[in-house]
Structure 1
Amino acid sequence: MTPSKTSFEIHVFADKRWVITEMAADEAAAKAFADNLLHTGNHEAVRVVRDFERLDGTHAETVVLEKKAPEKAPGDLTLAPIAEAPLCTTIEDVYALPSRTAIGRLLRKYLDEVVVTPTEFLHDAKEMKRFGDRGTLLFSAIDRVAGLQSREAGEADPRERRAFLESAWETLQKRARDFAAAKPKPKPPASFAEALTQSAADPDPAFGLMARLTLALLERRSWQGKLELVLAWALEPEVRPEVIDGLLADLVVPAQMVQDLLGFQPNLAAALGQIVDLAEGRAEPAKFAPELFADLNQMFAAGRLPQAQQALMARTIREIGGANPLSRNDPAQEFEMFHRLLHRLVERDRVAGGPLMAEALLQRATRVQNAGGASLVVVESVRMLLGALADGCIRLQFLLTLCAAPLGRAIGAGLTELLRGHVTRADHIDHWCPVRHPPRDRMAALKGANRALLTCEALDEKFRAGLAARVDAVMARYLQSEGVIEKIDKTDDPLAMRAIRLVKFCGSGVLIEGQSLDMAKARVIEHLRQKQFEEKFLASVPDPAQAEKALRDFHRLLVECGFG
């Protein structure tokens, strides 16, 4: 087989000339790679050149793509659309993560223009004044948030909320001005420890610490520069983890920061999957990802960044529930990209991101399905989405998680009937877990399904208990039809070995407390009640010197496995 004579070069415009940065064999992949480079904002322009080698060895080059980076519009003061804003009743509420998240989304264009995080914005007098001087932007923002908060509080007139927000803004400004006017004049700290030491003498040490850290952050006028500084602080022995977490929660929101952090991603679906992997601390750096990606991933893996994880998941949920294509460069791949993302997010024991993620996936599924023709009702969209999931346990987990979401509660009876039908029809273990999995894994999957039903607080207790009992019945039928207990309790084996294996099986955690566990325990009790059990047990131990110890260990095992 002769090698292809066609290749594709990806060029970037740097230092007033075109520079080759990558090679690709596929035109679509080359164009996607070039688009990703352009969207990172680090290049003025990109292009893809097709290179064809003729039979005589000469080359013909054709530019198949050339794009310039969009020019920034510093005068664009438009507020970003947001659908909700957390209700703030105290000044301290304004500094909390929900408020900062709303500020970051509402003022995204402005904050990106000045390269300032919500934390910096709320702790620096100069930044607050600069924002207040930008025409009517401040009053428009207050009006927007007042309307959303009054709706959240069930208030018909937003004037009271507007008055509170205007008063809060004045208080925030005064607090920042008082800090800036302190003697001696505050200076950017050289380290987190220095900021901590200096803030101890401030009238409000908590505000003073954040204000001093802000001074250092404002000296870095790039998102990556700020991130590097915060990660450096995180390594100090005196660091306060909750402070680092809050700062990183702000920094993982800007689109530019996320794009730079993730490196090359062929489409939105891949980028969202990588964001979830990062938030869960199990991501691998992609091409062109910065070195600090691995450090950040390690912190997520250690569970040190709950606020930042929440911010990343919230961003992912908004994108999945939104209208941006998952495969912009190849619309024909939209369903396949959604399918991959769906299997990444929905597992047997959870839906990554919880009920809101389940709702976002349903919204995306409805949009993907409706793109092909007539609109589908929501329940039908749920049914079609379930058909794309791998097995009964995963489908059950999605349904239960969706039940706890606002959209799930709105669907109401339609969703619970889907759930009832799913459980009642799945009357064999093959419907819950594929045959290719080992028996222990299949039983563990059923046990997980039973536990998920019993603990789903979104369902009526009697309803979920009835469905859980049906799953238990499936397990009991599997034990009987496959002779699982008989295979463990082989009659040809010594009694001690059989008894120990049975008790360990009962305590293994793969059996459901109900019919299936009772069946296994009944076999153990049958052995214990036979005449002269202990003598027979001792006689069946291969090494007589170890017989007494084996019996003592067996009695201890009985207690550990719940036999008393």
Structure 2
Amino acid sequence: MAGRVAYEVQIYDKGHWAINELMPSEESARQKAKDLLALKHIVGVRIVKESHFASDSRRETEIFKEMKQAEKDDDLSVQPIDSAPVCDRITDYYKTAARVTIGRLFSKYVEKFELTPLELLHSASNLKRIINLDTLVPSAVDKVAALQARTTGEDTRKRREVLFAAIDTLAKRAREAEGKPVAELKGSTLDAVLARIDAKVADPDERQFLANMALVKVSLNWQGWIGKISGLLPLARSEQDERSLAMVDEMMADILMARTVIKDVIGISKHMGDGIMRVLDLIHGKCVPTKFAAVELVSLLNTLFAEDKLPRSKAALFDRVARDLKGPVRLTSSEEIGPDKDFFVTLLDRLVTDHGVIGGSLIANGLAERWARMNNVGGVTGRKKAIEGICGLVKSGKHKFVYLLSLYDNKAEAEVRGSIEVHIRALVQQFDTIRKVAPEARTEKTRLQETAAIQRLVLDSLLEDRFKIPLANAFDALVSEYIISENVIQRLDDSKLSFRDRALRLVSFASSGVLTVGKATAITRDAVVNYLRRKDFITEFTDGIADPADKEKAIKDFYTLLARTGFDMKG
């Protein structure tokens, strides 16, 4: 049974919607909204129709919303960027890399109105508003076109034409989508929305676009950054479809691009260095909220990061840490440089590990730039001095090595690349046994695993092949020579043991991450192949197992273990 109806006229203030007045009719509410919009200090107005029912339930429906364009004296200028991805298809503009660029270019705009790039791209009214804002978009197009022209070799004017055409297409697509019936997320779930879209739409890109439209339709009503996070994160805990989790992660990553939002979430930090440490805690799911923190959100984020449910958001936080490291703000609150330098060593100990630099090349470069800034050196000379300075601060040769691998950029100046290569060569000469590669490892297996892990870092690095391949081969030589000299295969293939135990020992060894790519893998693979090629392998392997079901399980488990070795068994 229908009951009372009221109309809330709300105003937008500092990232939040607040009730201004409760009106008895839609007509009076719309007049009130019009009057409010005429006031200079009012940024936005909306009307929410609130229906009360006899069952003591109520329904809220937004029936009007208008945000003013920025005032002329607002500084919403386009911000500098140093790179911009080339989008070949219109769908590329919705992807993470493009949205990061949008977020950086328009950081003043999106932070003022607390809109994510994802929301801009999927809301016709918000997209229209920013497009119509004086020279903001043309200025951004000029910057992006110039950067892309360097990559593609095209004329800058041609790139501008391509970008303006893409903007027209994006705006048209958003307008047309708003005229279609979109699956409603309000009162439903992302999983259910995706299922409904899947049933009607075949094209995967269009499915994703419509699903994001549904999410944005709801998120635009979440008040401010904290409101958006509060509405978004519970979805990540309840949704099962991987696409739903990815959508939550994408929007969360957009939100985390905002400069101040992380402080509003985790609370007050003593200084920037402490803030960086606490963000790293959050990335590892161990952040402790402080004064003014959004405690429930910290708890949710800790859980989601610990479960690795938010990989893109994690990348956004690492990007924020790297930018803080490169920036001018001091690490500590001291006016003296000494405490900053001491804290920098603490950061190095936290970020440079046996397995690489946490956060990868972004963080490695951020550390180098911070060292150069603290020591008042710049340019190529500054980079070279930073390399030497940081190598003198990290606590082991292995840490120096993994840091240099992460720092290496094949697009950097030749002098800088050469300096890194000199340091790497000197370190490799010291690694003449696996014990020296992993001096703190207590077992043979751990030493082999750590040496193999170092080789994987080399193979995954940006080192040029002329340097990378000999370097990887040097680590392979250490492992293969150890396997031969220490009779590792022969010890595993102990004739005193049963055939099954010997085969399992050998394959377990091969699948435990101890082998380097190259000779060490070939030696072990050959030993495994010799077992598999025996005429009566199955009979010998299952000898002593009476139950046929147990025999079948033993064989299945063996081949599962064999698959983990990654061996190519065709040869």
TM-score (norm 2): 0.66
Match of 2:310 among 305, 320, 323: 305
Separation (CA, whole Å) in 2 of partners of 1:278 and 1:261: 10
Q: CA deviation at 1:103?
A: 0.9
Deviation, structure 1 residue 345 = 1.9
After superposition, the Cα gap between the structure-2 partners of 1:205 and 1:339, relative to the gap in structure 1 and judged at 3 Å, is same
Whether 2:270 is the aligned partner of 1:273: answer no
> Matched residue of 2:81: which SS?
coil
Unaligned runs of 5+ in 1: 1-71, 525-552
**1:264-301 residue CA offsets vs partner (Å, 9 max, x unmatched):** 3222223223334433x433333234212222232233
Q: Is 2:441–2:447's contact at 8 Å kept on the other side of the alignment? A: no
Query: Distance between the aligned counterparts of 1:205 and 1:503, measured in 2?
Result: 48
Aligned 8 A contact 2:476 2:518 in 1 = no
Quote how far apart the aligned CAs of 1:368 are: 2.4
Question: Structure 1 residue 250: deviation in Å?
Answer: 0.9
Q: Provide the rounded CA distance (Å) in 1 between the counterparts of 2:437 and 2:194.
A: 55
Match of 2:76 in 1: 77
- Equivalent residue runs for 1:533-548 within 5 Å: none
Root-mean-square deviation (CA), in Å? 4.8
- Summarize the alignment of residues 393-542 of structure 1 with structure 2, pairs less than 5 Å apart: 393-404=398-409, 406-407=411-412, 411-427=416-432, 432-434=437-439, 441-442=446-447, 444-453=449-458, 456=461, 458-460=463-465, 464-465=469-470, 468-469=473-474
TM-score by length of 1: 0.66
Asked if 1 retains the 8 angstrom alpha-carbon contact of 2:265 and 2:298, the reply is yes
Counterpart amino acid of 2:350?
R
2:161 equivalent among 160, 163, 172:
163
1:251, CA displacement in angstroms?
Answer: 1.4
Per-residue CA shift, 1:506-525, capped at 9, x if unaligned?
767657799999999xxx9x
Q: List gaps (5 residues or longer) in structure 2.
A: 1-70, 528-553
- 8 Å CA contact retained: 1:423, 1:467: no
Change (3 A) 1:139 1:455: closer
Does the CA-based 8 Å contact 2:368-2:390 persist in structure 1? yes
Shift of 1:456: 4.7
By how many angstroms is 1:261 displaced? 1.8
The residue that corresponds to 2:371 in the other structure is 365
What is the identity, as a one-letter code, of the residue corresponding to 1:143? D
Alignment of 1:335-346 (within 5 A): 335-346=341-352
Q: 1:94 to 1:409 in 2, by over 3 A?
A: farther
> After the TM superposition, which of the residue ranges 95-104 and 461-470 deviates more from structure 2?
461-470
> Any conservation in 1 of the 2:475–2:516 contact (CA below 8 Å)?
no
- Aligned-partner Cα distance in 2 for 1:519–1:213: 54
Structure 2 counterpart SS, 1:359: helix
C-alpha change, 1:473 and 1:165, in structure 2 (3 Å) is closer
Confirm or deny: 8 A CA contact 1:85 1:102 kept in the other structure. Answer: yes
SS at match of 2:330: coil
Distance 1:272 1:466, change over 3 A: closer
Structural mapping, 1:280-291, within 5 Å: 281-287=284-290, 288-291=293-296
Match of 1:88 in 2: 87
The 1:159/1:171 distance shift into structure 2, 3 A limit, reads: same
Aligned with 2:295: secondary structure?
coil
1:192 matched residue in structure 2: 189
2:389 partner letter: M
- Is the counterpart of residue 147 in structure 1 residue 154 in structure 2? no
How far 1:395 sits from its partner (Å)?
1.4
CA distance in 2, matches of 1:148, 1:517: 44
1:137 corresponds to 2:136: yes
Identical aligned pairs, as a percentage? 27
Asked if 2 retains the 8 angstrom alpha-carbon contact of 1:94 and 1:100, the reply is: yes
Larger deviation, residues 418-427 vs 382-391: 418-427
Per the alignment, do residues 177 and 390 of structure 1 end up closer, same or farther by CA in structure 2, a change over 3 Å counting?
Answer: same
Q: Distance in 1 between matches of 2:482 and 2:476?
A: 10
- Across the two proteins, how many residue pairs are aligned to each other? 457
Find the aligned partners of 1:503 and 1:94 in 2 and give their Cα distance.
Answer: 50
- Report the Cα distance in structure 2 between the residues aligned to 1:191 and 1:74, rounded to whole angstroms: 42
AA partner of residue 361 (structure 2):
P
Query: Residue type of the partner of 1:360?
Result: G
For 2:453, give the aligned amino acid: G
Tell me how far 1:167 sits from its aligned partner. Answer: 2.1
Contact kept? 2:102, 2:117, Cα under 8 Å? yes
Aligned equivalents of 2:506, 2:208: Cα separation in 1: 56
Structure 1 residues 469 and 153, CA gap change in structure 2 (3 angstroms):
closer
- 1:400 maps to a residue whose letter is L
- Deviation (angstroms), 1:441: 4.7
How far, CA to CA, are the matches of 2:379 and 2:102 in structure 1? 38
